[in-house]
Chain A
Amino acid sequence: MIDYLLTHPFIGALVALVSLALIFGAILGFAAVQFKVEGDPIVDQLDNLLPQTQCGQCSYPGCRPYAEAIANGDAINKCPPGGQATINAIADLLDVEAPTLDEEHGEESEVKTVAYIREDECIGCTKCIQACPMDAILGAAKQMHTVIADECTGCDLCVEPCPVDCIDMLPIETTLGDWHWQPPKLPQQQFENIIATDKQAVEDGAAA
């Protein structure tokens, strides 16, 4: 046998290659089974990154369905409430280039909002209750409704169904509790008006 192989180097090489392939295949297979990573399934991780507004602006009925869609290859830039930050985070997770937000699905709004029902206009039709994905509206038929501001995600799905248009999306105001400093201008950003800043300082001084 060995002699035969030695005399036919081509066949010998073939045999060697095939057996090597088999051995390594076995090792790899074993490793795959043995060291299987039981991590979060990707959908959970994606769902974790999405803002859970459940607004449906991505055209899916909620954040989790969109997470599933992303996992199946949908674009990652369809979530306006999450905005660029969310897109970046997802891009980070999936290791892809971060695109900008797809304007088709809406624009990222600067301020967070919360629904507010003008209570004396509310006729108690319960339409908004049915629309709210968060169960954040409290009320019963013929009773004035109200929004649990803490649970409202600002998805504005309740605005549309209201027959008397008594729901407003109000910007969330900063309070003493959540106020914090804004970052100062970065050196790069002061370029255009560096002289202006100087001037400003002088003016400030003059005014003061």
Chain B
Amino acid sequence: MTKIWSIPGGVHPEENKSQSLQLPLGEISLAEELVYPLNQHIGAPATAIVEVGEQVLAGQKIAEAKGMISASIHASTSGTITAIEDRTLPHPSGMSGECIVLTPDGKDSFAKFETCENYLALDHDQLVAKIREAGITGMGGAGFPTAVKLSPRANNPIDTLIINGTECEPYITADDTLMQTQADDIIKGTQLLAHMLGNPQRVVIGIEDNKPDAIKAVTAAAAGTAIEVVSFPTKYPSGGEKQLIQILTGKEVPSGQLPASIGIVLQNVGTTVAAYEAVRFGKPLIERITTVVGEALQTQRNIKVRLGTPINHVLAEHGFLPKNASRLIMGGPMMGFALENENVPVVKATNCILAPGKKEMAPPAPAQACIRCGMCAEACPASLLPQQMYWYAQAEDYEKLEAHNIKDCIECGACSFVCPSNIPLVQHYRAAKGTMRQQAIEKEKSDRSRLRFEFRQERIAKAEAEKEAKRVTRKKAAEAAKKKIEAQKASGETPAAGNDLVANAIASAKQTQASPEEQQAKLERAVSGAEGRIEKLQQRLSETEADDQKAKLTAQIKQAEVKLQDAKTKLANFSPTANDSNATATNSNTDANDPVAAAIARAQAKMTMAPDEKLRSNLESLNKRLQKAQDKLAAAKADNADTVDALQSGVDKLKEKIATTEKELAQLPTPVAEPPAPETTDAATAAIERAKAKAAAQASMSPEDKLRNQLTAMSTRIEKAQSKLVSAKADNADTVDALQMGLDKMFAKQQTLRDELRQLNPNAPELNDANVKAESDNNSAKNEQESSETPAPVKEPDAATAAIEKAKAKAAAQASMSPEEKLRDQVASLEKRLEKAQQRLSKAEAEDDENIDAFRAGVEKTRSKLEQTRAQLEES
């Protein structure tokens, strides 16, 4: 006889097993609708792989395991997928979750299963794959994916395989029935599992001695094999994993560890049979034996039921009288959970549906005070002190609970069962455990929050310091420039214009010059930051199990990816513009009131940075980035991260860019030579000369013309300033406020200019023109994106002047037109513009340009304006 150890504690509830054993194993009709929760096992929920409306066959996989600890789900009959939606889950919380809903077609046609005669010849991995494919999970109640359990870590050699036929919960006889009817399959399954675990020295099937028929059947089937069949005295909860291990081996699973850590694997008999059928016949887990019992039912028996069958269908088939029922329980009376609603499906772990009558299970009596009788401590199979834990749970003293090993409570309910004061002890423990878990999570979060906060503080401090440093250098530069101007003035070369303006212009020119590098750096930082984040998120994603978490994370990843793309685009946009931003910067000053200063600035800017130098440095940095990106790509490939694709495309793009930059660089000498080559200081002097001439010309102009000129210049400046502001905002630059202020000032100035002009000549066409422009500018500022990203004509200064000229002419012409004609004209021009914009767009599309979105937005906007104008025309 095998030695049997005893466990501490335990109780002897009324067994109530005979009710369901009176009738043979039954079958019930197909329900009208089958529901498959995607999360019916421990671990990550499966992902649906069918669409609504799809036809499926029985046994066809409808949801794929996601991640390591997860299980696939299969259709249990043929039919149509009618919905994938949230339904109430068979879970103590009564919450809903995603379910696949199948409407059977009644044909019950099966998919073809892949049988395998000689399965013992297959190796471990193939067998595990088969079991995983079949979606087998523990069928004793917890629902842990079996494939995972059968792949213990290599450092834990398994020396004992225990098959659990204990079924210690009252009422339940599903395993009993299984053992009586399919004893051979159990033995074959046991052999299979033993084979998979490398033939452990000991293979035991443990059955409580209250199931003599089952013991007989299994012993007979096991005759001639090395499998021991052990029966031991009935006591609840000997069927608990840890308890059964203690009974059969005398060993205890160390707290917080798995049985595998002491070389033991334990499987339920139901799981064993399911695994065998999956390997031998390729049959996925689509049905199970469930006990349907309780006095509120007219028929009490075991049935073979298709997974997904709603419980109300099962109950209806057994003459359920809701009036008589005191509650509805999924699982046994000791550890099962009460269902609020009978509209939940049978899932893989549903071993019993219990509908007790009013007398059978009276509503719980009100709890009395704990008299510390210690009955609970005697009943506890884990040798805990339930009364103390109750005390501390009430006091919410979680440290003490921890010290009393509340984590080792298996929630078997033995303590509540015996408590003479009817205290719902287990609920206290569950609540306390939940709160403790919550607190641990919160603690972790708050630690993370602290880190993040400290990081931010540091960063802000650093930024502040940088700003300060920059401010100081700027000030110095401005002073230097001022001195220089003064020196020039002293030499008598400066014309009548204000000194300050010149100094300002120089300073601002310098400032703008510095910013491109900075901006680029910032963008690059953004890109790498986003990449890092994505990586981190993905890592987290692979770690997390909780489904909702996962969804959230995926969403976050997507978002981050979008953002990364964005940042990359911007960065890409940026580099080419960086070159001519110099020019733009200088240009913006060209139109300044004092042309002299502008000229000086331009000359100086040109002097500071030769274009080919710039390109070269660009190229260098691009090369460096490419190097880095390639490294990262290699790393990603090595650990097979999902980011590989993104990284690859990034690398490709970088390569492309390098190529273009190189080309540009090659072409450069010619354009450098072409412009009227302002070479050294002489050039500056020349420019100054020219500016002087212009100033002289201006002086000879009529005041009205002068004003008009100024106004146009101002409008252009405003436009430019606006675009600058927008881009500054986009980069979150510190200059935003300053720019905004400048812009406001310019508006004010424009207004005064306009007023002046009005005084001189009330009919001046510029007034209209300026209004229109201001308005449209306002619009563009309000509308997102486009102004910052459309390659506005502003870029080419000459083109801009030409446009202004044209606009002026148009305005003059318009002034003499009737309003209707004006509108018509506008429509025509808009149509033309639209056409052009579309052309540009299609070109961009053909070239897969990064500005596509901007172009598209432009087209969209032009179109809507056209429509508006047309409507106006119609009205008039």
Residues of A within 8 A of B (CB): 47, 50-54, 62-64, 123-124, 126, 129, 133-136, 138, 140-143, 146, 148-151, 153, 174-187, 190, 194, 197-198, 201, 204-205, 208
B563→A138 contact, CB < 8 A:
yes
Report if B634 contacts A (CB, 8 A). Answer: no
A52→B548 contact, CB < 8 A:
no
Report if B393 contacts A (CB, 8 A). Answer: yes
Q: Known contacts being A176-B91, A208-B322, is A142 close to B450, with CB within 8 Å?
A: no
B430→A54 contact, CB < 8 A:
no
B731→A175 contact, CB < 8 A:
no
Choose among A54, A140, A197 the residue that contacts B449 (Cβ–Cβ < 8 A).
A54
Choose among B423, B433, B456, B552 the residue that contacts A180 (Cβ–Cβ < 8 A).
B433
Chain B neighbourhood of A133, CB < 8 A: 453, 456
Give chain A nearest CB distance to B535 CB in angstroms: 15
Give chain B nearest CB distance to A139 CB in angstroms: 8
Q: Known contacts being A140-B732, A150-B552, is A179 close to B449, with CB within 8 Å?
A: no
B363→A205 contact, CB < 8 A:
yes
Choose among B93, B393, B729, B730 the residue that contacts A176 (Cβ–Cβ < 8 A).
B93
A63→B450 contact, CB < 8 A:
yes
A52→B446 contact, CB < 8 A:
yes
Report if B699 contacts A (CB, 8 A). Answer: no
Interface residues on B, range: 35 or more
Q: Can you list, as one digit per residue, whether each of B544-565 has a CB less than 8 Å from chain A (1) or not (0)?
A: 0011110010001001100100
| Contacts A/B (CB < 8 Å), 12 sampled | A52-B449, A64-B453, A129-B732, A133-B453, A134-B456, A177-B547, A179-B95, A184-B427, A186-B367, A190-B366, A198-B366, A208-B323
A140→B552 contact, CB < 8 A:
no
Chain B neighbourhood of A53, CB < 8 A: 446, 449
Stretch in B163-171, B434-442, B642-650, B802-810 touching the partner: B434-442
Interface residues of B in 281-335 (CB under 8 A from A): 322-323, 325-327
Of A50, A174, A178, most B-chain CB atoms within 10 Å: A178
Chain B neighbourhood of A151, CB < 8 A: 448-449, 452
Report if B431 contacts A (CB, 8 A). Answer: yes
Of A133, A141, A149, A178, most B-chain CB atoms within 10 Å: A141
Report if B788 contacts A (CB, 8 A). Answer: yes
B784→A124 contact, CB < 8 A:
yes
Chain B neighbourhood of A142, CB < 8 A: 726, 729-730, 784-785, 788
A176→B39 contact, CB < 8 A:
yes
Give chain B nearest CB distance to A77 CB in angstroms: 19
CA distance A186 to B394 in the complex (A): 8
CA distance A142 to B857 in the complex (A): 14
Report if B92 contacts A (CB, 8 A). Answer: yes
Choose among B369, B452, B552 the residue that contacts A135 (Cβ–Cβ < 8 A).
B452
Chain A neighbourhood of B428, CB < 8 A: 183-184
B729→A141 contact, CB < 8 A:
yes
Report if B131 contacts A (CB, 8 A). Answer: no
Q: Known contacts being A148-B556, A208-B325, is A181 close to B39, with CB within 8 Å?
A: no
Closest CB pairs A-B (n = 5) = A180-B434, A177-B546, A52-B446, A201-B363, A141-B729
CA distance A82 to B559 in the complex (A): 31
B431→A181 contact, CB < 8 A:
yes
Give chain A nearest CB distance to B792 CB in angstroms: 15
Q: Can you list, as one digit per residue, whether each of B401-428 has a CB less than 8 Å from chain A (1) or not (0)?
A: 0000000000000000000010110011
CA distance A186 to B390 in the complex (A): 10
CA distance A184 to B419 in the complex (A): 15
Report if B447 contacts A (CB, 8 A). Answer: yes
Of A151, A181, A187, most B-chain CB atoms within 10 Å: A181
CA distance A198 to B366 in the complex (A): 8
Question: Other CB < 8 Å A-B pairs besides A64-B453, A181-B430, 16 of them?
Answer: A52-B445, A64-B454, A126-B729, A134-B453, A136-B452, A141-B732, A143-B563, A176-B91, A178-B441, A179-B93, A180-B434, A182-B431, A183-B431, A187-B421, A190-B366, A198-B366
Choose among A47, A135, A177, A198 the residue that contacts B455 (Cβ–Cβ < 8 A).
A135
Interface residues of B in 22-57 (CB under 8 A from A): 39
CA distance A151 to B424 in the complex (A): 37
Report if B615 contacts A (CB, 8 A). Answer: no
Q: Known contacts being A47-B450, A143-B566, A187-B369, is A180 close to B730, with CB within 8 Å?
A: no
Give chain A nearest CB distance to B785 CB in angstroms: 6
Give chain B nearest CB distance to A182 CB in angstroms: 6
Choose among A129, A138, A198 the residue that contacts B560 (Cβ–Cβ < 8 A).
A138
Report if B749 contacts A (CB, 8 A). Answer: no
Give chain A nearest CB distance to B407 CB in angstroms: 14
CA distance A114 to B616 in the complex (A): 48
B452→A134 contact, CB < 8 A:
yes
Report if B765 contacts A (CB, 8 A). Answer: no
Report if B711 contacts A (CB, 8 A). Answer: no
CA distance A78 to B712 in the complex (A): 60
Q: Known contacts being A179-B95, A205-B326, is A197 close to B366, with CB within 8 Å?
A: yes
A149→B432 contact, CB < 8 A:
no
CA distance A140 to B327 in the complex (A): 55
Report if B112 contacts A (CB, 8 A). Answer: no
Q: Known contacts being A63-B450, A184-B427, is A149 close to B393, with CB within 8 Å?
A: no
Chain A neighbourhood of B368, CB < 8 A: 187
Report if B758 contacts A (CB, 8 A). Answer: no
CA distance A50 to B323 in the complex (A): 52
Report if B97 contacts A (CB, 8 A). Answer: yes
CA distance A140 to B568 in the complex (A): 13
Give chain A nearest CB distance to B334 CB in angstroms: 16
Report if B358 contacts A (CB, 8 A). Answer: yes
Q: Can you list, as one digit per residue, whether each of B181-200 has a CB less than 8 Å from chain A (1) or not (0)?
A: 00000000000000000000
Report if B375 contacts A (CB, 8 A). Answer: no
Report if B179 contacts A (CB, 8 A). Answer: no
Of B366, B394, B729, most A-chain CB atoms within 10 Å: B366
B366→A194 contact, CB < 8 A:
yes
Chain A neighbourhood of B478, CB < 8 A: none
Chain B neighbourhood of A47, CB < 8 A: 450
Q: Known contacts being A62-B453, A142-B788, is A177 close to B366, with CB within 8 Å?
A: no
Q: Known contacts being A148-B556, A149-B552, A179-B93, is A184 close to B563, with CB within 8 Å?
A: no
Interface residues of B in 444-499 (CB under 8 A from A): 445-450, 452-457
Q: For A175, give the chain B residue with the smallest CB separation.
A: B548
B552→A176 contact, CB < 8 A:
no
Report if B89 contacts A (CB, 8 A). Answer: yes
Q: Known contacts being A124-B784, A179-B95, is A184 close to B367, with CB within 8 Å?
A: yes
Chain B neighbourhood of A184, CB < 8 A: 367, 424, 427-428, 431
A180→B435 contact, CB < 8 A:
yes
Choose among A129, A175, A187, A201 the residue that contacts B423 (Cβ–Cβ < 8 A).
A187
Chain B neighbourhood of A198, CB < 8 A: 366
Q: For A54, give the chain B residue with the smallest CB separation.
A: B453
Give chain A nearest CB distance to B567 CB in angstroms: 8
CA distance A178 to B437 in the complex (A): 9
CA distance A208 to B321 in the complex (A): 9
Chain A neighbourhood of B434, CB < 8 A: 179-181
Of B421, B452, B567, most A-chain CB atoms within 10 Å: B452
Of A174, A180, A197, most B-chain CB atoms within 10 Å: A180
B456→A176 contact, CB < 8 A:
no
Q: For B552, give the chain A residue with the smallest CB separation.
A: A149
Chain B neighbourhood of A179, CB < 8 A: 93, 95, 434
Q: For A134, give the chain B residue with the smallest CB separation.
A: B452
CA distance A141 to B733 in the complex (A): 10
Give chain A nearest CB distance to B343 CB in angstroms: 15
Give chain B nearest CB distance to A104 CB in angstroms: 24
CA distance A148 to B555 in the complex (A): 10
Chain B neighbourhood of A143, CB < 8 A: 563, 566
Give chain B nearest CB distance to A206 CB in angstroms: 9
CA distance A133 to B559 in the complex (A): 21
A52→B450 contact, CB < 8 A:
yes
Q: Known contacts being A138-B559, A190-B366, A194-B366, is A180 close to B430, with CB within 8 Å?
A: yes
Q: For B426, give the chain A residue with the smallest CB separation.
A: A181
Chain B neighbourhood of A148, CB < 8 A: 556
